[in-house]
Amino acid sequence: MLKYLHLRIKSFGYAAAGLLFLLKSEPHARIHMLATTLVIIAAIALDVTRQDWLWLVLAITLVWVFEAMNTAIEHLCDVVSSQYSQSVKRAKDVAAGAVLIAAIAAAIIGILVFYPYIRALI
């Protein structure tokens, strides 16, 4: 049981190392971190409802998951093919496109959530 627990704790360490690598190596991840921080500050300041928090958390999570997967795909592609490959380029482009889709969806969710609160202030 202790060995199992130790292995689970180690796996959290690997996940944390992956997230740190993501933040250190990917400029877009740092932009996502800034956006995440601003959204959280705005949501607290505007005292959004629990339901609106759920939408914001879903949108934030969606972007982060796709950014992490994009980074993993890019690095795996670089290992598989160190030379230029049209197929590798397409895989990387599609993964980046998935992040863009998630970011656009998150922006739309943010507008839909925050608009009534900002309108009430004006």
DSSP state of 122: -
Q: What is the mean pLDDT of the chain?
A: 95
Domains in the chain: ranges and CATH: 27-121 (1.10.287.3610)
Among residues of the chain, what percentage have pLDDT more than 70? 100
Cα–Cα distance for residue pair 14/99, rounded to 1 Å: 23
pLDDT band for position 120 (50/70/90)? very high
Cα–Cα distance for residue pair 76/70, rounded to 1 Å: 10
Cα–Cα distance for residue pair 95/41, rounded to 1 Å: 29
Catalytic annotation, pick one of 48, 67, 70, 113: 67
Cα–Cα distance for residue pair 11/61, rounded to 1 Å: 20
pLDDT band for position 1 (50/70/90)? confident
Q: Indicate if 26 belongs to the active site.
A: no
The token pair at 33 is: 């971190």
The model's pLDDT over 58-108, given as tens digits with 9 standing for 90+, comes to 999 999 999 999 999 999 999 998 899 999 999 999 999 999 999 999 999
Stretch 27-38: mean pLDDT? 97
